[in-house]
Amino acid sequence: MSALAQPQVIGLITARGGSKGIPRKNIMPIAGRPLLWWTIAAAKQAHRLHRLVVSTDDPEIAQLAREFGAEVPFLRPAALAQDNTPHIPVMLHALDWLESHGGLPEYLFLLQPTSPLRQAADIDAAIALATERRVDGVVGVVEANRHPYLIKKILSDGVLEDYVANPQGYVLRQDFPPAYAVNGAVYVNRCSSLRRDRTILPPGTLGYPMPVDRSLDLDSPLDFMVVEQLLRRRKVSP
């Protein structure tokens, strides 16, 4: 990891100790390494991050993060490490600490450990997109595996109804307009926008398309099984 690009961008890995679905998920072994290691390793290989900071409430995670080469300059308050804690307060807490200890970067890059298939090239490309286009946000997206035109809802009487109406009526699936879903792997936000708008999807946010095999997000034991196989097939570390 080297500071070759301006403006300054700091990577922020959010890794709390608790996990509602999978206990101790952020340090659970996967493909021979703790889950957290994969995100730190990719970030350290990126060229456009100036610093890599981990926000955690857990001393064990903090120690592992330091061993893996990340900074853990503070422990996150327990109030910001609950099951229902959104990302924005956690990011703002990190910004407040950074501002009081040397100044704010221009951009904050949120890196969730639950996206271990993300690679250093994705980090650099997303930062380049944000800085070259001078936008407030860039978010990773993947082509939706179910197009919105195919999604249905069930009414109270059991009748199926389109969730999103197809304005052209029936057409072949290959003729549907492209549809994308946020994949959780990449969030680049201008710090001033985060404080002003309090959203990771501010107006004018650009999408950074990623392939499925780098977009999977870990949320269940089945996800772990699938992602572990993909990680083991890699010839080298991220």
Q: DSSP letter string over 4-73? A: -SSS-EEEEEE--S--SSSTTGGG-EETTEEHHHHHHHHHHH-SS-SEEEEEBS-HHHHHHHHHTT-B--
Q: Looking at the predicted structure, is the pLDDT value of residue 114 above 80?
A: yes
Q: What is the pLDDT of residues 143-199, one digit of tens each?
A: 998 899 889 999 999 999 999 888 877 677 778 889 999 999 999 999 999 999 999
Q: What is the pLDDT of residues 123-136, one digit of tens each?
A: 999 999 999 999 99
Q: Assign 231 to helix, strand or coil.
A: helix
Share of the chain above pLDDT 70, in %: 95
Give the CA distances from residue 60 to residues 24, 33, 83, in Å, rounded to whole numbers and listed in that order: 10, 15, 19
Please report the pLDDT score of residue 4 as a whole number. Answer: 47
Tell me if the pTM is above 0.75. yes
Place of tokens 């792997």: 185
Grade residue 1 by pLDDT with cuts at 50, 70 and 90.
low
Please report the pLDDT score of residue 165 as a whole number. Answer: 86
Domains of the chain, by residue range, sit at 9-143+179-232, 145-178
Q: What is the pLDDT of residues 44-88, one digit of tens each?
A: 999 999 999 999 999 999 999 999 999 999 999 989 988 888 999
Please report the pLDDT score of residue 168 as a whole number. Answer: 77
CATH homologous superfamily of 9-143+179-232 equals Spore Coat Polysaccharide Biosynthesis Protein SpsA; Chain A (3.90.550.10)
DSSP state of 214: G
Please report the pLDDT score of residue 170 as a whole number. Answer: 67
| Dihedral pair phi/psi, residue 228, rounded to 5° | -60, -40
Grade residue 235 by pLDDT with cuts at 50, 70 and 90.
low
Grade residue 6 by pLDDT with cuts at 50, 70 and 90.
confident
Share of the chain above pLDDT 90, in %: 74
Grade residue 238 by pLDDT with cuts at 50, 70 and 90.
low
Give the CA distances from residue 18 to residues 53, 108, 126, 151, 206, in Å, rounded to whole numbers and listed in that order: 19, 24, 29, 33, 32
Place of tokens 């990719």: 42
